[in-house]
Amino acid sequence: MRSPINEKKSLVELQAIAANPASVMKIAQERENALSRVLMAYVTSGLIFMLLPGTFLGVWNLLQISGNESAGAVSAAWLQAHGHAQVFGWIGSFILGIGFHSIPKRRGAMKPPIIAAWVCWVLWTIGVAMRWTANIYPWHWRVLLPFSSVLELGAFLLFANTISRHRPEDGGKDQLDSWIWVVISAACGFLLALVGNLIGCFYVALHGSSPAWPHILDQRYLALLTWGFLVPFVWGFSARWIPVFLGLKRVRFALVIPAVLANFLGVVLTLAGVYALGAILLFCGAVLAVAGLRMFEPAIREPKTRGLHPSFPYFVRMAYGWLLVAATLGIAAAKWDSSGGIWGASRHALTVGFIAAMVLCVGQRILPAFAGMRALWSTRLMFTSVALLMGGCVLRVSCEILAYQGYAQWAWSVLPPSAMLELASIAAFAINIFGTFLLEPSHAQHQMLIIEIPK
């Protein structure tokens, strides 16, 4: 039931539209343009973090490791700088930008939070850049490290507070779909990851001899960062978009929700140091999620690949295959890892094979639409980016186990080419998105203005 106040408000808006439709259309167009600019700013900064502080530094680290045939050949601070730039600088920027762009629109906000979005972008970008700088150039790192974590947490709290104010006007029953609860659980993981980052940075600043986190602390924090934050986000948005994009049957939330719970318990046990049981629960959660999303079941409708490369559905399924590989390697690592090779392969299968592949697949589907209803610049470049990523990930995961564990000396020489393939993949993705933003025209002005009629 609509309240009398909301119904009266809708009638007033209808009268205003009838009196001056051109003015209302202009306001709607300005709102859409402002939201598109915000999204493109977040995506652009995310792509920059992904390319330079993230992927390029990761390739450099791997070249040093493979050249010296030792995982200890690179400073732990540099490894952590690479990971922070990838997770928070790239994925985090994308999440915040999409959230500011889509949530107010989905809830019918006439005045989207443009100023708050820009303030959040400044805080977040400076915070991530400051953290990377403190890790690479240990100049006043005891100050920069904790201050960067304060800026990042402050940016997220501003985002959460701003978005929470945009509630649906029709405050009736069952406002939140099941997939949104999965995303909310991931947002809680995001918050916990930022709080953990704050605590860890202050601890290292007060007691550490370098900006690098202690190994055990870093290992456990990575479990929270990947399985507690990134994985549920991908599951939630997969439940929202993938059945439509791939033409699958409806999601079995009776399996997805237990998957989230099993995943949560697995993260808690891993943080407590119970690695074997935690890895088993993470594996169970991954299997339940794949079954609930029907990821490997045949399509019942034609996949929506218009404007995309037709390989899109196959790559999405391959990404979820990497999720199962990562979970399986996690169990193996808890039992047999002796030098970090299996743990590293599991993390790479998860972060690159699953998460990065899903971003490259789904990102090239939704980002052009969100950024002013643009068409993707090049479908061939889309195929190239994901294919190179998959090839590089196969080489990296397999040869990291063989090399680090001492099973095959020749595997050290394969690691650099795997890194180069992944770097080329990320560069192709960035070029395609920048080409879309700069060269493809916006069609937002041609979209019909939808007005809700009071019942």
All residues at 6 or more sequence positions from 323 whose CB lies less than 8 Å from its CB, including other chains: 231, 286, 289, 290, 350, 353, 354
To 10 degrees, what angle do helices 93-106 and 114-136 make? 170
The whole-number pLDDT of residue 4 equals 47
Question: CB–CB of 422/434 below 8 Å?
Answer: no
- Whether the pLDDT of residue 8 is over 80: the answer is no
What integer is the mean pLDDT of 308-324? 96
Asked if residue 453 has pLDDT above 50, the reply is: no
pLDDT value, residue 109: 53
Q: Is the C-alpha dihedral spanning 267, 91, 366, 307 positive or negative?
A: negative
**pLDDT the model gives residue 20:** 58
Burial class of 127 by CB neighbour count within 10 A (0 to 12, 13 to 18, 19+): buried
Top pLDDT among 409 and 14 is at 409
Angle between the N-to-C axes of helices 141-164 and 93-106, in degrees from 0 to 180, rounded to the nearest 10: 20
> Which residues, at least 6 apart from 188, have a Cβ–Cβ distance to it below 8 Å?
none
pLDDT > 70? residue 57: yes
Note whether 90 and 51 are within 8 A (CB).
no
| pLDDT (0 to 100) of residue 32 | 76
Write the CB contacts of 199 (distance below 8 Å, at least 6 apart in sequence).
Answer: none
Q: In this predicted structure, what is the pLDDT of residue 249? A: 94
Q: Tell me, what's the pLDDT at 18?
A: 53
Of the chain, the percentage scoring pLDDT greater than 90 comes to 71
| Percent share of the chain, pLDDT over 70 | 87
* 92-139 tens-digit pLDDT: 999 999 999 887 666 555 567 889 999 999 999 999 999 999 999 988
Q: Check if the beta carbon of residue 246 is closer than 8 Å to that of residue 294.
A: no
How far is it, in rounded angstroms, from Cα 351 to Cα 349? 6
Nearest to 280 by CA among 230, 317, 333: 333
**pLDDT (mean) for 349-356:** 97
415, pLDDT greater than 80: yes
Query: Which value, to the nearest 10 degrees, does the dihedral of the CA atoms of residues 224, 228, 230, 235 take?
Result: 160
Contact 413, 66 (CB under 8 A): yes
DSSP codes, 239-285: HHHHHHHHTPPPP-HHHHHHHHHHHHHHHHHHHTT-HHHHHHHHHHH
- CA dist., res. 359 & res. 361, Å (int): 5
- CA 358 from centre of chain: 9
Other residues' Cβ atoms within 10 Å of the Cβ of residue 450 = 8
Q: Is 60 exceeded by the pLDDT of residue 193?
A: yes
Q: What is the pTM of this model?
A: 0.89
Q: What is the pLDDT of residue 25?
A: 60
Average pLDDT rounded to a whole number, residues 39-58: 93
